[in-house]
Structure 1
């Protein structure tokens, strides 16, 4: 959630006008109730700061169990002392959360919230007849007043937080989520304990404070550890789901894109890089992001082993985490921008061999935790398996769809593509579709004269010429034997005829070079081709008809007419 610069200035201005003057007003209106109890004050302050230093972060919202200490402080020393301790707790909390410079506005924002909560709930308590240092054991009315103060304090806190989320952070999500439920439950549990703490302190001094305070601090630690483990479990579950998603991707680029996308969603990633090990001696950048959306150029220098952060991770085969730029600047090879601070680098390992490196960077200091390093390591394991599967699939797919000799698409792929293009014609996504079929004239004589290997050389060179002539305007495939087809989406009959004539001339006017003929010496061979052209929907209404009519134009209009010519299909 982003807060604009104008709002940040308003927050600082409101704090400057409200909190210092409000603290002065509180001190004179509700003066502190202590005389020489400095040791007691220090003990309560330390307890407050210790609890504040152990927040739970749920859905990016910090929750800390300080209500019970604040209640005991308020009942013991009055509103002003509780207010000062609350402000100190805010400082410790935000230091613990390691807020960055662009988040410093949260300090006055929280000062304002805690000041208002303390002032209003304390003022209501005093207006209802409440006093500092009440005798709770023999006075049920005082207990009800203390409970009223505690409930009002919590209610005001929730109202102000929801106001902040809606008007300052512009959050549209539901406020009554998991963090609200957790904070409400912990408040209900700990506030009665705050009353007990006050009663014991009021009866026995600092020793009960120590005896009761230690279990309370332990409770905060237990809650913190519990929700930290729950957060790790949530990350692990998310990593498993991402692993399944990567396994379902059958293309290398799809797996790469998914990993980058999911890492950017899970972690604070401003810059990300995926390197691939090439020829066992250097890393090549295959994917990168900047600002979670823009790709960085991939034509950067390759990295050797022990060179830069990624090269070092590759060499050692171990993940590394850097919290600030001072820790990694001297190792950088120029991939990580100068405004980055935190860096996380993890090797991609498959069969105990490093096959790549993932490197993430954030502009925030201490943006990554050690458990996040573990999560990325797990994702890299899933990624390595998914990449291997995708590469095998792509190789298998290419072999099943391409001619092994000419590397052109084969008949199976052409048949599928032709059906897809006709479906587009039926759905009016295509206006016209043309097909060119060519057959090499007297190809058997070439094989008989120079050998089948020389015939293969001609087929390979012809495939190369066809690919260059057609380019991106259509698809070239080997139809079988010495026959080739060219499919031209959105190519009308005139355009198809012109391309067919260009192909015919490129075959007839430039001889083919044979490197391995039967005579064991280089030969220049001239060949020709007969070509047929048909167009849909003008000449055909289905795929088989288009192929049949182009083939008819080839044999009737070109072959029988003397070969080395282009013929259009005609129904006449």
Structure 2
């Protein structure tokens, strides 16, 4: 995209300069007498060539230049200039110029006008003639025609380079893959253009008709070959993308990676991913591909009644549109600038598990084989998301205590080690550890049953979490012991938090069920805890030392002092 100011300047430049260019071109090389039948056939050939471009490696190429040589040699600069302008305009309409990219029409018109003028001037400078006749004149014209061809090619490449650098503000190598393909096609058009001219001069327009038929057949074959090559390339890319998706372990990373990689396959401007939950569609990602950034978000809106995504969900079939007028309604405000739209159901085990809807600002953006590959990728995405969710569930189970939902000892231990690494690099100042042991907990199990004990443990975990909130990490240390890990807390702050936890347990009664009687009986209990605390680096320099110090404070001081106490470890 370019600025509105640049857009306006391009149109003004085209309106002002094109009449001047055509006028002076006619002054330098006046329009010659034209054989109407031959000329109409050539125009028809021009239009056919313009409507049958070849796409190779995401770059589009046309054989228009071969016909340009024919027209230039037959009728001069003005005829070639006007007809090539018409042909290239049709080509760019064929390539789906949108409202936002309409400025490319005048921009390319000026570029090809420069190519026509510049190459014609060089042709005349090296002694080239219009309508060369006889073997000698034609042989003498071979070198000027080669200069004409190379001049047109280089002017085209240099203008593209400067437009990319200064107008689009993008880096570009002058000699790249497209450069080589363009050079190959221009050099190929050199003998073809001369051959067309010779046939027209010697055999007349009937030969051009035959050539047109052969050309159409050739283009069909070449386009089929190009599609097969592109299909093979996209299949390899699809496999690479599926591998990248399988390497992501988090759901959001999987989805973002999918949209990121999808933009390397097809021109995606917008994207929605819906997942089926409770028999309805839930939007889990909205994607927007701007020229300067990619936006990933999770907006809170659902599919609207009658939207394409909802139709795909209910009908279990894809919808594909090549232009905006075929699909746009007020239900699609998120795709304001889009033209082409593709919405496909993600089907697994005969069930729709999601809907992927993508849109492009280009018309006719999605080829048939690309749609098939996107369906395959969407299935890979569904599998990758399912794997990521399973991994998350497994990870949570491995890190948490099944009864209380708190982190387990293994996770706590690894977290303490991580914090000590941060402490050693001065990223944090202190690490505090609280060990909380419930007083006389065995009596609860003996009198009311282990299920009643579990109820107490669950309630204790809830109360500790309510006190700590987000200031620390709460874990089940084992049995009836709990722990709290804090960072950047002073001795006083650590003690105050421990005291608050102790009071929250002591002052509010616990209500449990007596499971050792025939009838479930509600019991009111008072539960207390002894808490030991230690703060590194004041009393410990290693993770195991910190745990040992907190343990000693709990048993040696809090328990021995009569229980229901908070004790700080000190050297």
TM bin, normalised by shorter chain, reads: over 0.9
Per-residue deviation, 1:94: 1.2
Say if 1:264 and 1:28 are closer, same or farther in 2 by CA, change over 3 A.
Answer: closer
Partner of 1:464: 462
Q: Any unmatched runs of 5+ in structure 2?
A: none
CA contact (8 A) 1:136 1:143 kept: no
Q: Which segments of structure 1 move beyond 6 Å, counting only runs of 4 or more?
A: none
Indicate conservation of the 8 Å contact 2:149/2:186, yes or no: no
Against the structure 1 CA distance between its residues 10 and 49, is the aligned structure 2 distance closer, same or farther, given a 3 Å change threshold?
A: same
For 1:154 and 1:270, the matched residues in 2 are separated by: 32
Range moving further from structure 2, 452-461 or 353-362: 353-362
Superposed displacement of residue 431, structure 1: 0.9
- Once structures 1 and 2 are overlaid, which stretch shifts more, 441-450 or 168-177? 168-177
Length, aligned pairs only: 565
Which ranges of structure 1 fall in alignment gaps of 5 or more residues?
none
The alpha carbon displacement at 1:404 in A equals: 0.9
CA distance in 2 between partners of 1:236 and 1:443 (Å):
63
TM-score normalised by L of structure 1: 0.93
Deviations 1:244-287 (A, max 9, x none): 111111222221222233334544444322211112x2111222
Equivalent residue runs for 1:140-289 within 5 Å: 140-264=139-263, 266-279=265-278, 281-289=279-287
* 1:347 aligned partner: 345
Contact kept, 8 Å, 2:164 with 2:172, in 1: the verdict is no
Q: Judge conservation of contact 1:58–1:179 (CA < 8 Å) in 2.
A: no
In the aligned structure 1, how far is the partner of 2:122 from the partner of 2:337? 49
Secondary structure, counterpart of 1:98 in structure 2: coil
Q: Secondary structure at the match of 2:192?
A: helix
What CA deviation, in whole Å up to 9, does each residue of 1:287-331 have, x standing for no partner?
22345544555433477xx8532222122322221234443345x
Of residues 348-357 and 294-303 in structure 1, the stretch that sits farther from structure 2 once superposed is 294-303
* Worse overlay, 512-521 or 86-95: 512-521
1:137 CA displacement: 2.4
1:20 positional shift:
1.1
SS at match of 2:160: helix
Residue 552 of structure 1: aligned partner? 552
The residue aligned with 1:536 is 536
Contact 1:246 1:258 in 2 (8 A): yes
What corresponds to 1:434 in structure 2?
432
2:568 match: 568
2:392 is the counterpart of 1:394: yes
1:528-571, Cα deviation, whole Å (9 max, x unpaired): 10000000000101011100110000001110110001001022
Deviates more, 1:178-187 or 1:554-563: 178-187
Q: Kindly indicate whether the alpha-carbon contact (under 8 Å) linking 2:57 and 2:230 is maintained by their aligned counterparts in 1.
A: no
One of 81, 90, 93 as aligned partner of 2:91:
93
Q: Indicate the SS of the match to 2:470.
A: helix
Equivalent residue number for residue 446 of structure 1: 444
Name 2:524's counterpart in structure 1: 524
Structure 1 residues 567, 335: CA separation in 2 closer, same or farther (over 3 Å shift)? farther
- Call closer, same or farther: CA 1:128–1:396 in 2, change over 3 Å: closer
1:326/1:208 CA distance change after superposition, 3 Å: closer
Aligned to 2:52: 54
**2-structure distance, mates of 1:566, 1:297:** 45
Q: How far is 1:188 from its partner?
A: 1.6
In structure 2, how many angstroms separate the alpha carbons of the residues matched to 1:298 and 1:4?
Answer: 28
Deviates more, 1:556-565 or 1:203-212: 203-212
1:377 maps to what in 2?
375
> What does residue range 350-365 of structure 1 map to in structure 2 within 5 Å?
350-365=348-363
Counterpart check, 1:405 vs 2:403: yes
CA gap 1:68/1:380 in 2 versus in 1, 3 angstroms:
same
Q: Is the 8 A contact 2:449 2:515 kept in 1?
A: yes
Structure 1's 128 and 544: CA in aligned 2 closer, same or farther, altered over 3 A? closer
Q: Please, which moves more after superposition, 320-329 or 75-84?
A: 320-329
Q: 2-side partners of 1:340 and 1:145: how far apart?
A: 46
3-state secondary structure, aligned to 2:81: helix
Any idea what SS the aligned residue of 1:102 has? coil
The residue aligned with 1:13 is 12
| CA–CA separation in structure 1 for the residues paired with 2:361 and 2:97 | 12
Q: Secondary structure at the match of 2:402?
A: coil
Contact 1:45 1:85 in 2 (8 A): yes
For 1:144-188, what per-residue CA distance to the aligned partner results, in whole angstroms no more than 9, with x for missing partners?
Answer: 333333333333333333333333333312121111111111222
The offset of 1:234, in angstroms, is: 3.0
CA deviation after TM superposition for structure 1 residue 458, in Å: 0.3
More moved, 400-409 vs 246-255: 246-255
Partner residue in 2 for 1:27: 26
Q: Is the 8 A contact 2:54 2:62 kept in 1?
A: yes
CA distance in 2, matches of 1:156, 1:362: 31
CA drift of 1:194 comes to 1.3
Contact 1:135/1:142, CA 8 A, preserved across alignment: no
Q: Secondary structure at the match of 1:287?
A: strand
Cα offset, 1:6, TM superposition: 2.6
C-alpha separation in 1, matches of 2:421 and 2:455: 36
- 1:512 corresponds to which residue? 510
Secondary structure (helix, strand or coil) at the match of 2:489 reads coil
- Distance verdict in 2 for CA 1:246–1:487, change over 3 Å: same
SS in 1 for 2:135: coil
Question: Matches of 2:90 and 2:256 in 1, distance apart?
Answer: 40
Q: Equivalent residue for 1:476?
A: 474
Residue 118 of structure 2: SS of its match in structure 1? helix
CA distance in 2, matches of 1:207, 1:182: 32
User: What is the Cα deviation at residue 237 of structure 1?
Assistant: 2.3
Q: CA deviation at 1:488?
A: 0.4
